[in-house]
Amino acid sequence: MTKIILVRHGQTKWNLMGRYQGQSDIELSETGMRQAETLANNFPAADISAVYSSDLQRAYKTASYIADTFGLNVVAKSGLRELAFGQWEGLTYKEIEAQWPEMLADFFTHPDKAVIPAGETFATLQQRGVAAIQEIVKNHPGQNVVVAAHGAIIRTILAETLHMPLRYIWSLRQDNTAVNIIRYDEEQRMIELLNSTAHLNK
Protein backbone atom coordinates (compact mmCIF):
# COMPACT_ATOMS: atom_id res chain seq x y z
CA MET A 1 0.00 0.00 0.00
CA THR A 2 1.30 3.42 -1.00
CA LYS A 3 -0.13 6.68 0.24
CA ILE A 4 0.24 9.92 -1.69
CA ILE A 5 -0.24 12.96 0.52
CA LEU A 6 -1.16 15.79 -1.84
CA VAL A 7 -0.59 19.26 -0.42
CA ARG A 8 -1.54 22.57 -1.98
CA HIS A 9 1.01 25.36 -1.54
CA GLY A 10 0.66 28.13 1.03
CA GLN A 11 -0.84 31.53 0.32
CA THR A 12 0.90 33.94 -2.08
CA LYS A 13 0.44 37.67 -2.62
CA TRP A 14 -1.23 36.90 -5.93
CA ASN A 15 -3.72 34.65 -4.11
CA LEU A 16 -4.63 37.65 -1.97
CA MET A 17 -4.91 39.92 -5.02
CA GLY A 18 -6.98 37.40 -6.95
CA ARG A 19 -4.43 37.17 -9.76
CA TYR A 20 -4.23 34.03 -11.87
CA GLN A 21 -0.77 32.57 -11.19
CA GLY A 22 -0.54 29.53 -13.42
CA GLN A 23 3.10 28.81 -14.11
CA SER A 24 4.31 32.26 -13.06
CA ASP A 25 6.86 31.65 -10.32
CA ILE A 26 5.29 33.56 -7.42
CA GLU A 27 6.71 33.22 -3.90
CA LEU A 28 4.82 32.55 -0.69
CA SER A 29 3.53 35.48 1.32
CA GLU A 30 4.43 35.75 5.01
CA THR A 31 1.07 34.17 5.79
CA GLY A 32 1.83 31.38 3.32
CA MET A 33 5.13 30.63 5.03
CA ARG A 34 3.39 30.49 8.42
CA GLN A 35 0.77 28.15 6.98
CA ALA A 36 3.45 25.85 5.58
CA GLU A 37 5.39 25.86 8.84
CA THR A 38 2.24 25.11 10.83
CA LEU A 39 1.42 22.22 8.52
CA ALA A 40 4.93 20.81 8.87
CA ASN A 41 4.72 21.01 12.65
CA ASN A 42 1.30 19.33 12.71
CA PHE A 43 1.64 16.93 9.79
CA PRO A 44 -1.09 14.24 9.62
CA ALA A 45 1.38 11.38 9.08
CA ALA A 46 4.25 10.25 11.29
CA ASP A 47 6.18 8.29 8.67
CA ILE A 48 7.23 9.93 5.39
CA SER A 49 9.68 8.33 2.96
CA ALA A 50 9.96 11.01 0.26
CA VAL A 51 8.85 14.53 -0.62
CA TYR A 52 8.14 15.67 -4.18
CA SER A 53 7.08 19.06 -5.44
CA SER A 54 6.28 21.19 -8.42
CA ASP A 55 9.39 23.12 -9.40
CA LEU A 56 7.56 26.43 -8.88
CA GLN A 57 8.82 28.09 -5.70
CA ARG A 58 5.48 28.46 -3.90
CA ALA A 59 5.02 24.69 -3.94
CA TYR A 60 8.72 23.89 -3.47
CA LYS A 61 9.00 26.13 -0.41
CA THR A 62 5.86 24.58 1.09
CA ALA A 63 7.36 21.13 0.51
CA SER A 64 10.67 22.23 2.04
CA TYR A 65 9.06 22.97 5.41
CA ILE A 66 7.65 19.43 5.46
CA ALA A 67 10.85 17.81 4.19
CA ASP A 68 12.95 19.56 6.84
CA THR A 69 10.70 18.19 9.57
CA PHE A 70 11.34 14.63 8.38
CA GLY A 71 15.01 15.11 7.47
CA LEU A 72 14.37 14.63 3.76
CA ASN A 73 15.18 16.46 0.52
CA VAL A 74 12.60 17.78 -1.93
CA VAL A 75 12.55 16.28 -5.42
CA ALA A 76 11.25 18.85 -7.94
CA LYS A 77 9.16 17.67 -10.91
CA SER A 78 8.03 20.04 -13.65
CA GLY A 79 5.15 17.67 -14.41
CA LEU A 80 3.54 18.82 -11.16
CA ARG A 81 3.33 22.47 -12.24
CA GLU A 82 0.06 24.36 -12.19
CA LEU A 83 -2.20 24.79 -15.20
CA ALA A 84 -0.60 27.11 -17.74
CA PHE A 85 -2.89 30.15 -17.93
CA GLY A 86 -1.29 31.65 -21.02
CA GLN A 87 -2.47 35.21 -21.61
CA TRP A 88 -4.44 35.15 -18.37
CA GLU A 89 -1.42 34.85 -16.09
CA GLY A 90 -1.01 37.84 -13.80
CA LEU A 91 -4.54 39.13 -14.52
CA THR A 92 -7.47 39.36 -12.12
CA TYR A 93 -10.92 37.88 -12.70
CA LYS A 94 -12.31 41.28 -13.71
CA GLU A 95 -9.44 41.92 -16.14
CA ILE A 96 -9.96 38.54 -17.79
CA GLU A 97 -13.73 38.97 -17.89
CA ALA A 98 -13.34 42.32 -19.67
CA GLN A 99 -11.40 40.74 -22.54
CA TRP A 100 -12.60 37.12 -22.70
CA PRO A 101 -16.07 36.94 -21.04
CA GLU A 102 -17.27 33.81 -22.88
CA MET A 103 -13.99 31.94 -22.38
CA LEU A 104 -13.97 32.78 -18.69
CA ALA A 105 -17.58 31.62 -18.33
CA ASP A 106 -16.65 28.29 -19.92
CA PHE A 107 -13.68 28.02 -17.57
CA PHE A 108 -16.06 27.74 -14.61
CA THR A 109 -19.13 26.09 -16.16
CA HIS A 110 -17.45 23.74 -18.64
CA PRO A 111 -13.79 23.38 -17.60
CA ASP A 112 -13.64 20.17 -19.63
CA LYS A 113 -14.16 22.25 -22.79
CA ALA A 114 -12.55 25.51 -21.70
CA VAL A 115 -9.97 27.16 -23.94
CA ILE A 116 -7.42 29.56 -22.42
CA PRO A 117 -5.61 31.80 -24.94
CA ALA A 118 -2.06 30.40 -25.30
CA GLY A 119 -2.77 28.25 -22.24
CA GLU A 120 -3.32 24.63 -21.33
CA THR A 121 -6.49 22.52 -21.24
CA PHE A 122 -7.63 20.70 -18.12
CA ALA A 123 -7.40 17.41 -20.03
CA THR A 124 -3.72 18.01 -20.76
CA LEU A 125 -3.15 19.10 -17.18
CA GLN A 126 -4.79 15.93 -15.87
CA GLN A 127 -2.74 13.71 -18.19
CA ARG A 128 0.59 15.07 -17.00
CA GLY A 129 -0.50 15.28 -13.36
CA VAL A 130 -1.72 11.69 -13.23
CA ALA A 131 1.40 10.50 -15.09
CA ALA A 132 3.61 12.22 -12.50
CA ILE A 133 1.69 10.63 -9.62
CA GLN A 134 1.75 7.18 -11.21
CA GLU A 135 5.53 7.40 -11.59
CA ILE A 136 5.92 8.37 -7.93
CA VAL A 137 3.66 5.51 -6.79
CA LYS A 138 5.67 3.08 -8.90
CA ASN A 139 8.94 4.26 -7.36
CA HIS A 140 7.69 4.13 -3.74
CA PRO A 141 5.79 0.88 -3.15
CA GLY A 142 4.46 0.57 0.38
CA GLN A 143 5.57 4.07 1.40
CA ASN A 144 4.01 7.39 2.40
CA VAL A 145 5.00 10.16 0.00
CA VAL A 146 4.29 13.89 0.14
CA VAL A 147 3.54 15.72 -3.12
CA ALA A 148 3.26 19.52 -2.97
CA ALA A 149 1.51 21.10 -5.93
CA HIS A 150 -1.25 23.52 -6.94
CA GLY A 151 -5.02 23.85 -6.77
CA ALA A 152 -6.00 23.02 -10.34
CA ILE A 153 -3.64 20.10 -10.88
CA ILE A 154 -4.59 18.58 -7.51
CA ARG A 155 -8.26 18.85 -8.46
CA THR A 156 -7.65 16.97 -11.72
CA ILE A 157 -5.71 14.22 -9.92
CA LEU A 158 -8.50 13.84 -7.36
CA ALA A 159 -11.12 13.83 -10.13
CA GLU A 160 -9.29 11.01 -11.92
CA THR A 161 -9.13 9.03 -8.67
CA LEU A 162 -12.89 9.51 -8.16
CA HIS A 163 -13.69 8.72 -11.82
CA MET A 164 -15.24 12.19 -11.91
CA PRO A 165 -15.67 14.01 -15.24
CA LEU A 166 -13.50 17.12 -15.52
CA ARG A 167 -16.63 19.22 -15.87
CA TYR A 168 -17.17 18.94 -12.12
CA ILE A 169 -13.67 19.69 -10.79
CA TRP A 170 -14.78 22.97 -9.20
CA SER A 171 -16.81 20.86 -6.78
CA LEU A 172 -13.48 19.89 -5.21
CA ARG A 173 -12.37 22.75 -2.96
CA GLN A 174 -8.64 23.20 -2.38
CA ASP A 175 -7.54 25.76 0.21
CA ASN A 176 -3.97 26.93 0.80
CA THR A 177 -1.92 24.12 2.45
CA ALA A 178 -4.92 21.77 2.16
CA VAL A 179 -4.00 18.11 2.68
CA ASN A 180 -5.44 15.25 0.60
CA ILE A 181 -4.51 11.59 1.01
CA ILE A 182 -4.88 8.99 -1.75
CA ARG A 183 -4.28 5.33 -0.89
CA TYR A 184 -3.08 2.95 -3.61
CA ASP A 185 -3.67 -0.81 -3.07
CA GLU A 186 -2.48 -2.55 -6.23
CA GLU A 187 -5.19 -1.62 -8.76
CA GLN A 188 -7.52 0.01 -6.22
CA ARG A 189 -7.38 3.68 -5.25
CA MET A 190 -9.16 5.34 -2.36
CA ILE A 191 -9.29 8.93 -1.09
CA GLU A 192 -8.79 8.93 2.67
CA LEU A 193 -8.68 12.69 3.26
CA LEU A 194 -9.87 15.68 1.25
CA ASN A 195 -9.02 19.40 1.60
CA SER A 196 -8.06 19.16 5.26
CA THR A 197 -6.83 22.37 6.89
CA ALA A 198 -7.17 21.12 10.46
CA HIS A 199 -3.51 22.03 11.07
CA LEU A 200 -4.31 25.73 10.69
CA ASN A 201 -6.45 25.54 13.82
CA LYS A 202 -3.54 24.34 15.96
Q: Encode pLDDT of 11-20 as tens digits.
A: 999 999 999 9
pLDDT score recorded for residue 4: 98
Cα separation, 199 vs 65, whole angstroms: 14
Catalytic residue selected from 140, 150, 163, 199? 150
Q: Is 34 a residue whose pLDDT tops 80?
A: yes
Q: Is 186 a residue whose pLDDT tops 90?
A: no
Cα separation, 23 vs 102, whole angstroms: 23
Catalytic residue selected from 9, 110, 140, 163? 9
Q: Convert the pLDDT of each residue in 165-183 to its tens digit.
A: 999 999 999 999 999 999 9
Q: Is 191 a residue whose pLDDT tops 90?
A: yes
Write down the domain spans for the chain: 2-201
CA angle in degrees (0–180, nearest 5) for 71-76-81: 135
Cα separation, 129 vs 159, whole angstroms: 11
CATH topology of domain 2-201: Rossmann fold (3.40.50)
Q: Is 187 a residue whose pLDDT tops 90?
A: no
Tell me if residue 150 is catalytic.
yes
Query: Percentage of the chain surpassing pLDDT 90?
Result: 97
Distance of CA 55 to the CA centre of its chain: 12
Beta bridge partners of 179: 7, 196
Beta pairing class for 2-8 and 50-54: unpaired
